[in-house]
């Protein structure tokens, strides 16, 4: 059996422990490697290796971290993921709910349909409202809009988006709104 230096033995034990306790994420194959790299950098630094000698490993670690952030959707394009929707966004959502109601959906069914699509896109329901169910809060915001209680920004966006929806041929409106997620500005062409 090969005898390892105490430092190398300690490093091996740390890497082994990481491997044994790591629950692999099938979406991100680099997660364990990144954690192991952090252990190696830490151990080499503790052992007195100069920072300039470690810099390539530190740069690699930063690169992996940035790449993993991008894979999780933490980039600029998804910076609002999980944040409360803006008033303008809620105006567009209210216009979509109105379109679905006109197409024969029940109000609750329309709100649930659009909320499911919002959640898949990473958009939270409105925080304001007296109900724990997000789709009910969407309907409450829509009711406030109908009573003139919504913000000017939300009202203006509702009117503008309703005009955009009316420009779509009637037989295509519902399908295009649901399939193409027209309520999502990030998906708009040009």
* Residue 165 · residue 177 · CB < 8 Å: yes
Rounded to 5°, the CA angle 110-111-114 comes to 85
DSSP per position, 32-68? HHHHHHHHHHHHHHHTT--HHHHHHHHHHHHHHHHHH
Give the span between the Cα atoms of 25 and 128, in whole angstroms.
35
Q: What is the pLDDT of residues 145-172, one digit of tens each?
A: 999 988 899 999 999 999 999 999 988 8
Q: What is the pLDDT of residues 42-71, one digit of tens each?
A: 777 777 878 888 788 788 878 877 776 665
Q: What is the pLDDT of residues 128-147, one digit of tens each?
A: 777 778 889 899 999 999 99
pLDDT over 70, % of the chain: 77
Q: What is the pLDDT of residues 97-124, one digit of tens each?
A: 999 999 999 999 999 998 888 887 778 8
* Residue 122 · residue 116 · CB < 8 Å: no
How confident is the model at residue 159, as a pLDDT?
95
In the chain, DSSP finds a helix count (H) and a strand count (E) of 8, 0
User: How big is the chain by its Cα radius of gyration, in Å?
Assistant: 25
How confident is the model at residue 154, as a pLDDT?
92
Sign of the CA dihedral running 172, 177, 181, 182: positive
* Statement: the pTM of the whole predicted model exceeds 0.75: no
- Bridge partners of 25, per DSSP, are 28
Q: What does residue 25 show for φ and ψ, rounded to 5 degrees?
A: -95, 115
Share the mean pLDDT of the chain. 79
């Amino acid at each position: 059996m090969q005898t390892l230096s105490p430092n190398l033995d300690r490093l091996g034990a740390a890497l082994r422990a990481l491997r044994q306790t790591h629950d692999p994420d099938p979406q991100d194959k680099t997660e364990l490697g990144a954690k192991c790299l952090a252990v190696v950098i830490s151990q080499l630094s503790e052992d007195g290796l100069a920072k300039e000698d470690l810099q390539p490993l530190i740069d690699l670690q930063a690169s992996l971290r940035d790449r993993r952030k991008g894979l999780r959707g933490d980039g600029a394009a998804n910076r609002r993921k999980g944040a409360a929707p803006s008033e303008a966004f809620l105006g567009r959502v209210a216009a979509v709910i109105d379109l679905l109601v006109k197409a024969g959906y029940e109000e609750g069914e329309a709100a649930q349909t659009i909320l499911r699509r919002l959640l898949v896109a990473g958009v939270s329901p409105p925080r304001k409202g007296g109900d724990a169910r997000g789709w009910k809060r969407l309907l409450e915001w829509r009711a406030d809009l109908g009573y003139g209680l919504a913000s000017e920004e939300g009202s203006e966006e509702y009117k503008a988006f309703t005009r955009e929806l009316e420009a779509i041929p009637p037989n295509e409106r519902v399908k295009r709104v649901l399939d193409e997620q027209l309520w999502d500005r990030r998906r708009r062409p040009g």
